[in-house]
Structure 1
């Protein structure tokens, strides 16, 4: 029988004032960090039109809310804030943040985004060298509304894709694997390391499954606004999903959202100047 701690959806978090790496992981400071991005995206979507900036995760979550009878425009951002506030409440940690950490979090998230951009470039070069594999050129910039979508849309993708795949789906799959695997692989508390192996497999399985779903969700098979399937982009998006999931587990929701959003911003800027 495994211990309660091993069945927790995510590693425990404790508020430690003066310790940036612990403070910046918390759900409350994550909410403060993503709130400006949420505001920019929702205002941009309102000004540009309901279909101008929406990403797949945003559309799916809103359609799900409408299906269960909750269709108010602002309900999804309120739900995002509510989940983070409820998560913080369950930690029983102090309701306090240090505002000066938000700038450092932005720099950290930007650093992770640049690292991912480098991985994308290297993977692109590897696929370009492979015979029979062509990488589609970036889409040309169009109207001013499309330009606004390129610059504002990344904030929505960062928030709502991380909300769906990391904050909601990853813990759900992790708990299912933690509960289900022992039914097929009996553990013995007297055997040291056996439960750690189960936990490692559970985390690895949840990370891989959510990353594959995250990648697949960008294509036309799942959404009419998706891309045509391409091996390079599918491979990179799967790796990016693993990257964001590891950030979520190790650095918290805010850093994962920031890294995702800033990566998309950097890509959009490169399209503009390229």
Structure 2
């Protein structure tokens, strides 16, 4: 039973259905707040849709509907559509988010840099929660689903490296790019050694979660951690 849960919860189709509420929440919030609040990874993901001009948002929404229908069809075909699957996935994500906040936070802010305790989140609460959700969805799609997968396939298929080595290199390089991107763009923060190390460590943890537990749980872990950080649960 436990192995069945781990197998089903990791599948991309179940992950997509799982993250759909976060995607809807973020897109509705952007429509309310305005595009100036967009997450950088969101902008990267939707850049190809600018070819459609003002219809870009409509095309994106249609793609979301198509992916949802395909995901539901695939799950039904496999006879494993079970809404009760998503509750333990959410709880698992909460556990990982608390691990990042308390354990990774302790390592960076108490052990490595005990005299520099500034956390990397200083957003206004309403917009900050919206950005937290967007970061969870789009940064995991860009930096984990696309980047980790691309690195892994390139290293295993082109460079012919072993799978364990490919996984380690993919995780580290994707985490490094993920960290650097937080200092680029209009919503970027000032560089500090603490924020760099914390984001690097978080990127490694999230990449591991993606590889071993799937996209959906990685998305919720990221989003839940960000929301709790905005609410200052991990500060003090």
Match of 1:27 in 2: 12
CA contact (8 A) 1:41 1:156 kept: yes
Q: Which residue of 2 aligns with 1:224?
A: 186
Q: 1:264 aligns with which of 218, 226, 229?
A: 226
Which has the greater radius of gyration? 1
Deviation string 1:119-141 (CA, Å, 9 cap, x unpaired) is: 113311124336xxx34366666
Aligned pair partner of 2:201 in 222, 233, 239: 239
Match of 1:114 among 98, 105, 108: 98
Q: What value does the CA root-mean-square deviation take over the aligned residues?
A: 3.0
Residue number among 121, 127, 136 corresponding to 2:118 in the alignment: 136
Alignment partner, residue 138 of structure 2: 160
In 1, the alpha carbon distance for the partners of 2:113 and 2:235 equals 22
Instruction: Pick closer, same or farther for the CA change 1:61–1:228 going to 2, 3 Å.
Output: same
Alpha-carbon distance in structure 2 between the residues aligned to 1:216 and 1:139 = 16
Partner Cα separation in structure 1 for residue 74 and residue 118 of structure 2: 46
Residues 56 and 140 of structure 1: CA distance in aligned 2, closer, same or farther (over 3 Å)? closer
Give, in whole Å, the separation in 1 of the partners of 2:69 and 2:169.
28
TM-score (norm: length of structure 1): 0.74
Among candidates 34, 38, 41, match of residue 49 of structure 1: 34
State the distance in 2 between where 1:30 and 1:253 align.
Answer: 6
- Distance between the aligned counterparts of 1:225 and 1:233, measured in 2? 15
- Kindly state the Cα deviation for residue 79 of structure 1 after the two structures are TM-superposed: 4.6
Give 1:40 shift.
0.8
User: Comparing both structures, which one devotes a greater share of its residues to helix?
Assistant: 2
Unaligned runs of 5+ in 1: 1-15, 183-196
1:215 to 165, 176, 179: 179
Task: Report matched runs for 1:23-102 at 5 Å.
Answer: 23-52=8-37, 54-66=38-50, 69-71=51-53, 72-76=56-60, 79=63, 94=78, 96-102=80-86
Distance 1:103 1:169, change over 3 A: same
Q: Is the 8 A contact 1:177 1:202 kept in 2?
A: yes
CA displacement at 1:180 relative to structure 2: 2.9
Q: Is the 8 A contact 2:14 2:75 kept in 1?
A: no
2:57 is paired with a residue whose SS is: coil
- When the two structures are superposed, what TM-score results if normalisation uses the length of structure 2? 0.85
**Could you say if the C-alpha distance between residues 82 and 173 of structure 1 is closer, same or farther in structure 2, counting changes exceeding 3 Å?**
farther
